[in-house]
C-alpha cells in the first residue's frame, strides 16, 4: 500500500492543474485525453466549468461512484496514505480541497507523493 507514480498526461506535464483528469484516467482506466474530453463535455452540458464541483460530482455519479464525507472528528489527521492503507480493495477518487487523487486497491496514484495531504471527501466506485 503506497504511492505509485502515475502521469497519463500525453506531454508528461506535472504541475498544470490536471489532477482531476489524471485521477479520473486511473480510476476509469481510460486515456487522459478521454477523461479530459468527457469532463469538458459534462461541463458544456451543465453550462459550468469542467473543474467545478458540480461538474465533477455529476460526472462521477454517472460513472457509478458514490460520494462520502470524511468525519470531522479529526479534520487534520486523516491523510491520503492513511486512507489508502484502510482501503486495500476498490477504486476511489479522494479530494483534499485543493487536490484530487485516485486510490486503487490500497495504492494512491499521482505525479508526486501526496500521501500527507489531508482528505475531506472521497468517491467510491460502487459497480
pLDDT in tens, 96-114: 989 999 999 999 999 999 9
Decide if pLDDT at 73 tops 80: no
What whole-number distance in Å separates Cα of residue 73 and Cα of residue 50? 31
Decide if pLDDT at 71 tops 90: no
**pLDDT interval class at 1 (50, 70, 90):** low
pLDDT in tens, 21-57: 999 999 999 999 999 999 999 999 999 999 899 999 9
H-helix or E-strand containing 2? none
Decide if pLDDT at 78 tops 70: yes
State the pLDDT at residue 97: 85
The reported pTM is 0.92
**pLDDT interval class at 58 (50, 70, 90):** very high
Decide if pLDDT at 118 tops 70: yes
State the pLDDT at residue 12: 85
What whole-number distance in Å separates Cα of residue 36 and Cα of residue 68? 24
Q: Pick the more confident residue, 38 or 127.
A: 38
State the pLDDT at residue 33: 97
For residues 103 and 84, is the Cβ–Cβ distance under 8 A? Answer: yes
**Could you tell me the three cell numbers for 38?**
468527457
Nearest to 11 by CA among 25, 32, 38: 32
Amino acid at each position: 500500500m503506497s504511492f505509485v507514480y502515475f502521469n497519463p498526461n500525453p506531454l508528461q506535464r506535472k504541475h498544470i492543474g490536471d489532477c482531476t483528469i489524471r485521477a479520473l484516467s486511473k480510476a476509469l482506466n481510460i486515456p487522459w485525453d478521454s477523461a479530459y474530453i468527457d469532463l469538458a463535455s459534462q461541463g458544456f452540458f451543465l453550462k459550468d466549468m469542467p473543474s467545478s464541483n458540480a461538474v465533477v460530482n455529476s460526472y462521477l455519479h454517472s460513472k457509478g461512484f458514490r460520494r462520502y464525507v470524511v468525519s470531522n472528528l479529526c479534520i487534520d489527521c486523516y491523510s491520503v496514505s492513511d486512507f489508502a492503507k484502510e482501503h486495500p480493495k476498490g477504486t476511489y477518487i479522494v479530494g483534499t480541497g485543493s487536490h484530487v487523487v485516485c486510490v486503487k486497491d490500497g495504492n494512491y496514484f499521482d505525479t508526486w507523493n501526496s500521501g500527507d495531504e489531508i482528505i475531506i471527501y472521497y468517491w467510491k466506485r460502487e459497480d
